[in-house]
């Protein structure tokens, strides 16, 4: 394989790893939160998906990917190097319904898949690297 071919293969592998990390963050945020908000540090992601060093190095790319999901209401990169993700509550099965919200969030409500629906507003990876 030529050097250029190896670079393309490495870039595709990295893009796949970053996409899997973003999906892991989205799924975990939706599943684990009781309030809609979830924080992810580099070492929260299993190392078989992405190492902490790669998380830190590519946090802007992961952030851009996360913003593409319709299930994400808001996200930011904190100054301390973690991602803060706020999910729309329709995707959060463990949301603790507050008094007065029972009609809006009944116990038998349909929980949506947080990985379905993309809006493509983030920075494409090929432009950010």
pTM beyond 0.75: the answer is yes
Alpha carbon distance, N-terminus to C-terminus of the chain: 22
Token reading at 22: 């973003």
**pLDDT digit string, tens, across residues 62-101:** 999 999 999 999 999 999 999 999 999 999 999 998 899 8
The CB density around residue 81, as the number of other CB atoms within 10 Å, is: 12
Please, are residues 26 and 88 in contact by the beta-carbon 8 Å criterion?
Answer: no
The CA distance from 112 to 33, in Å, is 14
DSSP E strands in the chain: the ranges are: 37-40, 72-77, 83-87
pLDDT-wise least confident of 20-24, 90-94, 109-113:
109-113
């Amino acid at each position: 394989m030529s050097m250029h071919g190896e670079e393309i293969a490495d870039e595709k592998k990295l893009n796949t790893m970053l996409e899997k990390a973003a999906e892991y963050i989205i799924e975990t945020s939706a599943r684990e939160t009781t309030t809609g908000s979830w924080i992810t540090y580099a070492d929260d992601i299993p190392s078989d998906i992405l190492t902490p060093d790669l998380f830190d190095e590519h946090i802007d790319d992961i952030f851009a990917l996360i913003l593409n999901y319709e299930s994400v209401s808001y996200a930011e990169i904190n100054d301390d190097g973690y991602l803060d993700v706020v999910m729309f509550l329709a995707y959060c099965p463990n949301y603790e319904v507050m008094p007065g919200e029972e009609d809006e969030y009944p116990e038998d409500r349909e929980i949506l898949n947080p990985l379905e629906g993309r809006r493509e507003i983030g920075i494409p990876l090929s432009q950010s690297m």
